[in-house]
Every structure is written in structure tokens, then in C-alpha cells.
Amino acid sequence: MCNLHNGEGAQNLQEGQCEVTAETSQPVGFVQEKQLGDHEKTLKAHKEGKPQKLLEMNGHTPVPHAYDYDLIVIGGGSGGLAAAKEAARYEKKVMVLDFVTPTPLGNSWGLGGTCVNVGCIPKKLMHQAALLGQALQDSRKYGWQFTEEVKHNWMTMTESVQNYIGSLNWGYRVALREKNVTYENAYGEFVGPHTVKATNKRGVEKLYTAERFLIATGERPRYLDIPGDKEYCISSDDLFSLPYCPGKTLVVGASYVALECAGFLAGLGLDVTVMVRSILLRGFDQDIANKIGEYMEEHGINFIREFVPIKVEQIEEGTPGRLRVTAKSTKGNQIIEGEYNTVLLAIGRDACTRKIGLDKVGVKINEKTGKIPVNDEEQTNVPYIYAVGDILQDKLELTPVAIQAGRLLVQRLYGGATSKCDYVNVPTTVFTPLEYGACGYSEEAAVEKFGEENIEVYHSNFWPLEWTVPSRDNNKCYAKIICNIQDNERVIGFHVLGPNAGEVTQGFAAAIKCGITKEQLDNTIGIHPVCAEIFTTLSVTKRSGENILQAGC
């Protein structure tokens, strides 16, 4: 997973880490709170027929064999594949149906879903490309000498990113085969109880039945529904494999997808404008969201606020061509026009639930959002149909959450486990130029839930040591924790804005899971000199209004 650098370091780095890490997580198996042991033991027990007995004891009936499969998973993304592979470990007969409907511009991709193909993986690699651009500038200050002009080649980057993705697609295929999971590159839709129709690229249809189903079809980018959007605009589904440099780009939207893409495009040296309807990063801590926006603006990204596009026209065809965008103020009748080479829409994502025959089997969806409500065991209103991942209503749209939910679901279904996916205190990171890691409540949400007087916010700016020599971005990085005064100053929100924010946040997320308090945080010894140590010395409360600029060591 850490094999993100295609450089010469990657191989050995990975070899090093391989000693301590592993791909698939199969935690401990539980049967009615009684621990069976680690997964090896669970598997052993399974082979000896123990889970079967335990399942029967739990009131389940033995698996009937009238269906083609024990489990059919619709959607081969992070959640679906994790669940499928897990089920195969319990020697279940499993099928995965995965089909990528091409984008309006005709792009499609391989097995693995959004994260691998058009999400986390390519975006973090391109973010890394942008960070390396910054590293080039820094490196001169650290004594490295090379020619003045260094240009970025979009195709070199895109090809290596796509090659890496290709290797992951292949890896998934192999993993499914090794685990005897049947994979069909076909579009799955329900046609009747316990029955799906699979339609492949050539239009050949097949019917399959299964005892249980898992819907994991994920989401796809939303379009504006204005003249020219589908003809001329691209989405994140197109960007990462774009066969030419996008040039001067307008990014429409203020989602994390919008800001991440705008960030790395600008980092690669492109002229980038972000058009925002209202606020940045809705749902995230707004204090932080604004700091992210400020930083991006300071680093050359233009923002057009409170405007929405109403028309996109092509001025000239080409790779890239030239587009004219007409936009209207959200506050009045003001109309503006702008010329760009590329318009990237990142205004949100819609669940792929309306064309998979859910009405045929009676699975309820939220008509407005298209999302599927499930109970705390990922079960839909139709008992034999489950759902995980981005299509769930009121759950988090994150790869590791989908994976965890999928695995735990299967362990409950086939392994006699009782552990449920915990959607609370899930950490996440936004890979904007200044990365943002968070876990728990945003300041707004904490104020709303506990009341302003009952929360204490500790915060500080910091200056990463590595940035001192190039003498850049002093006091831009920021650390904030939110504590519940009523509960012994328990930490209920963690926010960090700075390099490697994801790496920093992960461990604190584990600690928050253990219910850490401010006092325990203060009693933890820092690691010197790293950014994360700032969290062990936070002493200024936001309420006090005291100075948080860092001077010296």
C-alpha cells in the first residue's frame, strides 16, 4: 500500500515494510462474544465444522443448495471485493459482477472500483507528483543543483500512474481466481427474488441465483445538467487517464475531490481556477476548510466564489481544446465568461442504485439521494440483500470503511462473528496541497451537539522543520483538538493541517478510539523533531484568543 513512489526507493521500501505489514486484515472471529482466536484458528474451526454448529445454535438454518451461489456481490470495488474474498475464505460459493459504464467521454477502467481506478490511488499519486514539484524547489536550498528550468510532462506521469493501476487491476483478478471467486465483467441487475441478470459488454445476458446478495455499486460523478456539460466537460472519472495535459483548467465545485484535483493540477504548474457555489468542503470543519482555501489561493489557485456555470461551449477542438464557460452569480444576475482548456466537474457524486432493478425485489432507496438505508448490520429492508460502501445512506464514503464493513458483514454471515462495523470516529484525510487529517467532531458539530460552553478547543500553528531551510509557509500548518469539558476533557475532535496529515492522524484515531483525554495527551512524550509532536504540547485554548504563532523551537 505504501508503494506509492514509483521511484527506485519503492521496491526496497516495500520489501522493508512487508515484514511488518500485510494486505488483508482478518481480525479475530467471535461467536456470541466468545473469542475463537485469530483468523487462522477461525478457519481451522470452520474446517472442522464448528462455525456450522455455532451458526445453527445461533438460530440459522443450514445453507440450502438450491441457488447457484451462496453470495453474489454486485460491484467490484473496495467493499464488494473485500466481502467476496472474505466469503471465499469460509469456502462459500461467491460471484462478483463488475461492470464499468463508460463516462460520457467514453472512459472506462478495470476491476477494483473507484478508489483504485479513479479515486484515492491515482489522486494521491498525482498529489505526490505535485509535492515532488515542491520538493524540487526545496532541494535547491538543501544543496542540490540542476538546471534552472524543470518542466512537467503530463503523459509520463499519467502513464506511470495508469501502469500502477493496471497492476492493481490485475492483482484483483488474480486474487479472485486464487480464492475461487467467480468474476464476471458484466452489469448486474435484479430481475426477481434471489435472481440477477448479468449483461456483458457484447449484450449477452445470463441469469444467476444466490442465497444472499451484496450491493456495492458505489457512486459516479454528478453532472450539472446544463448545455455542453456532458459533451465538453470532464469529471474525475476522466482526469486521471486523460491522454493530454489539461492545460488551463476550471474546476467546478468545492468538494474534496474538487480541491484535491485543483491542488495537484496547480502543483504541476497549470493555471487553475476553482468555481465555488457557496462554502468549501461542506461537512468538514469550516475553520480548517477556510485555511485550506487560503493556502491554495496563496499558492496561485484562483477562486471564483458564489458563481455557478450555466453553459459550456467549445471554441476550438483539440487536446486540449478551448472552451468558453458562462457562469451566473448565485446572488444576483451577474453573468461572467471565461476561457479554459479543460472544465472539470466535481460537484458531487450520485449512488448507482437506480438502474440495478432494486424495485424488482423491493429494496428501498432514499428517492431523493438514491442512497440505500441499512440497519446496523448492513442489511437492507429485504433481509437477504445487504449493501456496503458509498451507496449507504448516512454512512461515510471511504474505502477503508467499505472494506471493514464488507469483511465484518461476511464474518457475521459465515463466521459466526458478532462484531459490527463502527462508523464512529473514523479518521480521514483530504490530500489538498496542505493536507488535512481529521477524526471525530468538527468544531461546528461539537458546538451543536454539546454546546459552546461545554467544549474546549486547543489549537496551535506549527512550522515543519523541513520547511525552515527553504524558509516557506511559516505558520500555515495548524493543529486543533476539541475536548468535551463535561467528560473529563475527552478528545472528541482531532484536526491537523500539514504535511503527512494522514500519517499523523492514524495513530491519534486509534487513541481516540480508546477514549483519550486531554490530560493523557499532555502526558504523552513527543517525538522530536516531527510535526505530530505538536499535539502533545497544545496549551492555548481558542476561547482565550491568545497568540498561536510558533516562534523558534
Partner 1 sequence: MAALWRRRLLGVSGLCRTVRALSGKNEYDLLIIGGGSGGLACAKEAAQFGRQVAVLDYVEPSPQGTKWGLGGTCVNVGCIPKKLMHQAALLGSALKDAQHYGWNIAQPVHHTWSVMAQAVQNYVKSLNWGHRVQLQDKKVKYFNMKGSFSDLHTVRGLTKAGKETIVTAENIVIATGGRPKYPMHIAGALEYGITSDDLFWLKESPGKTLVVGASYVSLECAGFLTGIGLDTTVMMRSIPLRGFDQQMASLVTEHMESYGTKFLKRCFPTKVEKLESNRLKVTWKNTDLGTEETDSFDTVMWAVGRAPDTETLNLEAVGVKTNSETGKIIVDASEATSVPHIYAVGDITEGRPELTPTAIAAGKLLAQRLFGQSSELMDYDNVPTTVFTPLEYGCVGLSEEAAVQCYGSDNIEMVCLREREQRILGLHFIGPNAGEVIQGFALGIKCGATYPQLMKTVGIHPTCAEEITKLHITKRSGLDATVTGC
In the set 60, 299, 495, 528, the catalytic residue is 528
Residue among 507, 543, 544, 549 that touches partner 1 (CB under 8 A): 507
Cell triple for 350: 450520485
Cell numbers given for 362: 423491493
284 burial (CB, 10 Å; 0-12 / 13-18 / 19+) is buried
Q: Which is nearer to partner 1, 102 or 507 (CB)?
A: 507
Residue 257 assigned to a binding site? yes
Q: Is 258 annotated as a binding residue?
A: yes
Cell of 251: 474546476
Q: Does 209 bind partner 1 (CB under 8 A)?
A: no
Contact residues for 60 (Cβ-Cβ < 8 A; gap 6+): none
Residues in region 380-399 near partner 1 by CB under 8 A: 398-399
426 binds partner 1, rule: CB under 8 A: yes
8 Å CB contact between 98 and 158? no
Least separation in angstroms between residue 431's CB and partner 1 is 9
Burial class of residue 408 (count of CB atoms within 10 Å of its CB; 0-12, 13-18, 19+) = buried
Three-class SS state of 432: coil
**Residue selected from 319, 536, 544, 547 as contacting partner 1 according to rule CB under 8 A:** 536
Cα 408 to Cα 79: distance, rounded to the nearest angstrom: 11
Based on the shown chain and the rule CB under 8 A, indicate whether residue 9 belongs to the binding site for partner 1: yes
Paired strand residues for 322: 316
What's the closest the beta carbon of residue 175 comes to partner 1, in angstroms?
Answer: 7
Q: How far is the CB of 515 from partner 1 (least distance, A)?
A: 7
Q: Kindly tell me which of 18 and 335 has the beta carbon lying closer to partner 1.
A: 18
Quote the least distance from Cβ 17 to partner 1, whole Å: 5
Give residues 253-312 in contact with partner 1 (rule: CB under 8 A).
268
Binding mask 24-43 for partner 1 (x = CB under 8 A): xxxxx---------xxx---
Least separation, in Å, of the C-beta of 386 and partner 1? 19
Q: Is 390 assigned a ligand-binding role in the annotation?
A: yes
C-beta of 468 vs 541, nearer to partner 1: 468
DSSP H or E segment with residue 37: strand 34-37
Window 432 to 451, contacts with partner 1 (CB under 8 A): 437
Indicate the residue among 125 and 358 with the shorter CB distance to partner 1: 125
Task: Say how far apart CA 490 and CA 454 lie, in whole Å.
Answer: 11
Residue positions counted in the chain: 553
Positions in 164-183 near partner 1 (CB under 8 A): 167-168, 171-172, 175
The residues facing 437 across adjacent strands are 429, 496
Q: Which is nearer to partner 1, 159 or 205 (CB)?
A: 159
Ramachandran sector of residue 440 (left: φ over 0; alpha: ψ -120 to 50; beta: rest):
left
Number of residues lying near partner 1 (CB under 8 A): 114
Under the binding rule (CB under 8 A), the answer on residue 23 touching partner 1 is: yes
- 348 annotated to a ligand binding site: yes
Q: Is 361 helix (H, G, I), strand (E, B) or coil?
A: helix
Q: Judged by CB under 8 A, does residue 1 bind partner 1?
A: yes
Q: Which of 429, 442, 460, 484 binds partner 1 (CB under 8 A)?
A: 429
Query: Residue 325 or 481: which CB sits closer to partner 1?
Result: 481
User: Which one of 281, 361, 401, 481 is in contact with partner 1 (CB under 8 A)?
Assistant: 401
| Residue 484 grid coordinates | 468535551
Residue 422 in contact with partner 1, rule: CB under 8 A = yes
| Helical spans, DSSP H, in 485-540 | 501-513, 518-523
Question: Least distance from C-beta 52 to partner 1, angstroms?
Answer: 24
Which amino acid, one-letter code, is at 548?
Answer: I
Is 6 one of the binding residues for partner 1 (CB under 8 A)?
yes
Report, in Å, the least distance between residue 121 CB and partner 1.
Answer: 6
Sorted by sequence, the CB contacts under 8 Å of residue 507 that are 6+ apart come out as 532
Question: Which of the residues 105 through 164 are near partner 1 (CB under 8 A)?
Answer: 112, 115-116, 120-121, 124-125, 128-129, 132-133, 135-136, 138-139, 141-147, 150-158, 160
Q: Under the criterion CB under 8 A, does residue 468 sit at the interface with partner 1?
A: yes
Give the largest Cα separation in the chain, rounded. Answer: 73
Would you call 148 helix, strand, or coil by DSSP? coil
C-alpha–C-alpha distance, residues 300 and 66, integer Å: 63
Based on CB atoms, which residue is closest to partner 1, 62 or 552?
552
Residue 416 binds to partner 1 (criterion: CB under 8 A): no
**Which helix (H) or strand (E) segment is 42 a member of?**
helix 39-47
Residue 231 binding partner 1, by CB under 8 A: no
Pairing state between β 69-74 and 477-484: unpaired
Q: What angle do CA 502, 503, 508 make, to 5 degrees?
A: 90
188 is in an annotated binding site: yes
- Spatial distance between the Cα atoms of 33 and 235, rounded to a whole number of angstroms: 46
Q: Which three cell numbers stand for residue 243?
A: 491522454
- In 3D space, the residue among 389, 387, 415, 384 whose CA is nearest the CA of residue 400 turns out to be 389
For residue 528, indicate whether it is catalytic: yes
| Whether residue 104 has a cis bond before it, omega within 30° of 0 | no
553 binds partner 1 (CB under 8 A): yes
Q: For partner 1, which is the closer residue by CB, 315 or 469?
A: 469
Q: Number of C-alpha atoms within 13 angstroms, CB side, residue 284?
A: 24
Q: How far is the CB of 295 from partner 1 (least distance, A)?
A: 19
Provide the annotated binding site.
124, 188, 253-260, 348, 390
Provide the annotated binding site for NAD(+).
253-260, 348
Provide the annotated binding site for FAD.
124, 188, 390
Positions annotated as catalytic residues are 528
